[in-house]
Amino acid sequence: MCWRTGQRKSVICKFVINLDQRNSVLFLTKPPKFLFFTGKGGVGKTSLACATAINLADQKQRVLIVSTDPASNVGQVFGIQIGNTITPVPDVAYLSAMEIDPQAAAQVYRNRIVEPVRGVLPDAVVKSIEEQLSGACTTEIAAFDEFTDLLTNPSILKDFDHIIFDTAPTGHTIRMLQLPGAWSGFLEEGKGDASCLGPLAGLEKQREQYHAAVDALSDPLRTRMVLVARAQSATLREAARTHEELADIGFKHQYLVINGVLPDSEVKEDILAAAVWKREQAALSAMPTILSGAPTDYVPLQAFNLVGLPALRALLTPENLGDKSIETPSVEIPAVPSLSNLVGSLVGSGHGLIMTMGKGGVGKTTVAAAIAVELANLGHLVHLTTSDPAAHLIETLDGTLENLTVSRIDPLVETERYRDEVMKSKDKNLDEQGRALLEEDLRSPCTEEIAVFQAFSRIIREAGKKFVVMDTAPTGHTLLLLDATGAYHREIERQMANTSVHFTTPMMQLQDPSQTKVVIITLAETTPVLEAAGLQEDLRRAGIEPWAWIINNSLAMANPQSNLLRQRARNELAQINDVATKYAPRWAVIPLQAEEPVGLERLKKLLHNAK
């Protein structure tokens, strides 16, 4: 591992692993009570958070690691079942873990508000309160409620020396960290009697907790933010944006970890490794200036999968770093289909909705762009869009194409549009006091969820006339959006139950395989495949059957010569076999590319297993 100072000399360095003392890891120097690991999906936040938790626990520090990601995989990394309660991690003294379960948290939140008034207020009023608390907003804020409790609960703070937060991908995390202040401000200024969370009294009870959470988050002696990135231009740009946004809400002291850097010792006599190394070094050289002042650690790419205690200990323990002794048995896999095979099957009636879904960092944006480019080249009208706040469609395409239009669901823009529409539609029927109450309610932080859902609904209606290719946000955020879609569908069903009016909801369109094709994107690694399998089950419970899986950035299909990359390629074979034989109705593999797949020509290469 090596690091750089704030002086921006060359950051291209030979990666010398020298961790004779644990404190040589900068982000672990005098660690405070709370450590947050955040960054773009797929950069290794969970692995680093878990390795950090083990590192501190091995020093006999009492540690709690908490996942705030709705699609948490902390349990998968440790190889144990972890739920919504604090659970000791076997074989690691002093370490406990917890995954915030949004659904379980929502039920606790509902009970706290509803039970005191049940039997006191009329049944119709209680039922109305329960309906107000049934949506995705309540689920999100209830999970956030548990998050603030972990920052402020005296019993928990007494039981643990350190609490480590493995957070959801960047956009979702920024929103979560803003919420303590947002809800505090809403409660201080709001005079309305309800919000989308139900009675304001339910929030009033949390006023003191939210204030305490704001104090804890804004104190650098108690809270440290660790930005995790890869040596890639897109993730470094994302880290820079995150750095600015976090600084704007009070996180001035941030640490940076560049994870999974290919050591220069691996580039000899391997064209692919040399290309990857050169690309990474170029990205590091062009690192955004705003990151230059942050204390920075560089973590080398490992030959082994970061699952299980031995691998996690090896990540930050000096005597095991770089260990390549983990052997993988040979696995035969079926003939590998290309992405072009799948796209050929998509053409059908010439229109429809195609959604790429999966864990952050697996390449959903790139694959969505490649599919859209191919469909447009075949002469079809295509609308390529994204619901991911951190997506970079324009940068990925790096060009224009006939028949192809591009858009982005921007939460800020959509929220402002929604507020304007509501005020215009209701303003003429309101007096001054009513107008003030409506404006207050529309300043509720969860108004954004409603606005984004409406934008999502508008876009997918276009799929009746053209192809709409949607690059979705990482798994957890997408599931919350689908939860909102399902809640809307159930409400429409309830309203139309006693009528003969035919209706179609967005959820019905998503459930119709003739109209919607969901493509799950993953990597040939244990955790991404398990998470993709979990996503598939969640979709099936919602009545949505995934159409295909795509394994992206496969080393096994790229034929590397470097010893480290060859070991990682062997590790992939079992996962590819599992996808082909256990999970995917259809599947394809995209090899790791020597050149970053940016621009129309390079995107075309992805279609034919070209390297």
Active site residues: 42, 44-47, 69, 527
C-alpha distances (whole Å) from 163 to each of 32, 37, 67, 288, 465 are 9, 11, 11, 30, 51
Q: Give the C-alpha separation, 112 to 156, whole Å.
A: 20
User: Could you tell me the two tokens for 108?
Assistant: 């606790």
Position 140, amino acid: E
Residues 6+ apart with CB under 8 A from 319: none
CA-nearest of 501, 510, 500 to 543 is: 510
First to last CA, the chain: 30
Cβ neighbour number for residue 513 with a 10 Å cutoff:
13
Helix 475-496 × helix 170-189 angle, to 10°: 60
Residues 88-92: contacts with CB under 8 Å, at least 24 apart = 89/57, 91/309, 92/54, 92/57, 92/58, 92/309
Would you say 559 and 509 are in contact if contact means Cβ atoms under 8 Å apart?
no
- Torsion angle, alpha carbons of 336, 341, 345, 350, to 10: 150
Give the distance, in angstroms, between the CA of residue 4 and the centroid of all CA atoms in the same chain.
Answer: 28
CA-nearest of 560, 522, 528 to 262 is: 560
Would you say 227 and 243 are in contact if contact means Cβ atoms under 8 Å apart?
yes
User: Could you tell me the two tokens for 328?
Assistant: 């993988």
C-alpha distances (whole Å) from 443 to each of 186, 415, 439 are 7, 10, 6
Position 331, amino acid: V
**Could you tell me which residues are beta bridge partners of residue 404?**
382
Would you say 471 and 391 are in contact if contact means Cβ atoms under 8 Å apart?
yes
What is the Rg, in whole angstroms, of the alpha carbon atoms belonging to the chain? Answer: 24
Q: Give the C-alpha separation, 395 to 237, whole Å.
A: 11
**Could you tell me which residues are beta bridge partners of residue 34?**
163, 223
Q: Give the C-alpha separation, 353 to 515, whole Å.
A: 6
DSSP 546-611: --EEEEEEESTTT---SHHHHHHHHHHHHHHHHIIIII-SSEEEEEPPSS---SHHHHHHGGGT--
Residue holding tokens 């004779």?
20
Would you say 469 and 391 are in contact if contact means Cβ atoms under 8 Å apart?
no
User: Could you tell me the two tokens for 610?
Assistant: 């070209």
Query: What does the chain come to in residues?
Result: 611
DSSP 435-497: HHHHHHHHTSTTHHHHHHHHHHHHHHHGGGTSEEEEEPPPHHHHHHHHHHHHHHHHHHHHHHT
C-alpha distances (whole Å) from 360 to each of 169, 171, 175, 470, 527 are 7, 11, 17, 15, 12
